[in-house]
């Protein structure tokens, strides 16, 4: 979601590399990154994540409900959960909207279905997520005050030397990884075609690459996780290499996962395989003041 096209440019080591243009590109990416987080569909307005087993669950702001929303009508309706998905029946006299239309009953396709929808009630909006067959309702408040007070994000100084050329070394056959997430018992299972190898300060390193649509996705850790960056690791995207196997890892565009900002994300954690034994002092830092949880 946070990936953007890397502008066609020469390697930083090339005599034709334009450092001023590159710095401007990274600054524009940072602006995009902040705007993306603060967007109504971003991660900052999330105020709840409710995992649901098959069954029926009343929901609303009254403490007597099975699923308690912090605001809204005392009882908004009922979630009906089956092995195939989540449906909703709205309580009498309550207005709930989907796609600008008032609804009384509706199926809520999950985020992985390709047809996911958001349902709203007042300032609230919710969607259904599916993580390996487990369903949860993700709740947002479009007037959440955390969004207005958020930012600017802290970053390392831009370092063109940490925009590195990498080469893909494919496994004999693509693999399916099992990567732990911040949710106990819930793994992220991406396709892994191989590793990308690259140099930092003359030393060689490698990361497993995960297929993410038409890009490679990396969940990586490094020694800055101890103090400056998010402890579970950071995210990074790159173009998928062409026939020459070459791509670019721009660590100046590495960033914190959504779980750095609230308790309602399902982020993968950097695996031991993808933890680098050096400090990668580029990209986004972590500041605990920018993490929201209901206890705050």
Please state the rounded mean pLDDT for residues 169-176: 97
Distance CA 231, CA 289 (A): 15
Distance CA 180, CA 161 (A): 31
Strands 203-212 and 105-108: unpaired
- 61 or 2, which is more confident? 61
Distance CA 133, CA 129 (A): 9
- The domain defined by 46-143 folds into Tumour Suppressor Smad4 (2.60.200)
pLDDT at 218 over 90: yes
At residue 157, the pLDDT reads 98
Q: What is the pLDDT of residues 27-72, one digit of tens each?
A: 999 999 999 999 999 999 999 999 999 999 999 999 999 999 989 9
Facing residues of 170 across strands? 194
Residues 6+ apart with CB under 8 A from 179: 187, 188, 189, 190, 210, 219, 268, 269, 271
pLDDT at 17 over 70: no
User: What predicted TM-score, i.e. pTM, was given to this entire model?
Assistant: 0.89
- The residues spanned by each domain of the chain are 46-143, 152-290
Distance CA 40, CA 144 (A): 10
Give the burial class of 17: count Cβ atoms within 10 A of its Cβ; 0-12 exposed, 13-18 middle, 19 or more buried: middle
Sign of CA dihedral 284, 289, 290, 294: positive
């Amino acid at each position: 979601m946070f990936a953007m096209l890397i502008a066609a440019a020469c390697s930083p080591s090339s005599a034709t590399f334009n450092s001023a243009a590159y710095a401007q590109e990274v600054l524009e990416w940072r602006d995009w990154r902040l705007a993306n987080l603060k967007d109504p569909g971003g991660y900052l307005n999330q105020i709840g994540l409710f995992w649901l087993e098959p069954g029926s669950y009343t929901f609303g702001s009254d403490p007597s409900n099975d699923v308690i929303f912090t605001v809204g009508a005392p009882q908004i309706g009922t979630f009906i959960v089956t092995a195939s998905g989540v449906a909703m029946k709205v309580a009498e006299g309550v207005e709930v909207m989907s796609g600008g239309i008032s609804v009384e009953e509706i199926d809520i396709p999950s985020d992985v279905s390709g047809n996911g929808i958001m349902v709203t009630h007042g300032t609230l909006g919710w969607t259904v997520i599916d993580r390996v067959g487990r369903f949860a309702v993700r709740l947002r408040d479009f007037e959440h005050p955390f969004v207005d007070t958020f930012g600017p994000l802290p970053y390392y100084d831009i370092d063109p030397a940490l925009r590195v050329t990498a080469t893909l070394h494919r496994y004999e056959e693509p693999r399916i990884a099992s990567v732990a997430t911040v949710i106990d018992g819930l793994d992220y299972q991406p396709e892994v075609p191989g590793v990308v190898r690259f140099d930092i300060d003359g030393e060689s390193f490698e990361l497993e690459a995960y297929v993410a649509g038409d890009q490679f996705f990396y969940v990586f850790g490094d020694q800055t996780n101890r103090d400056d960056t998010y402890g579970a690791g950071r995210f990074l995207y790159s173009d998928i290499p062409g026939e020459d196997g070459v791509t670019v890892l721009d660590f100046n565009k590495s960033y914190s996962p959504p779980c750095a900002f609230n308790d309602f994300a399902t982020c993968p954690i950097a695996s031991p395989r993808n933890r680098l034994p050096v400090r990668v002092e580029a990209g986004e830092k972590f500041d605990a003041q920018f993490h929201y949880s209901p206890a705050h």
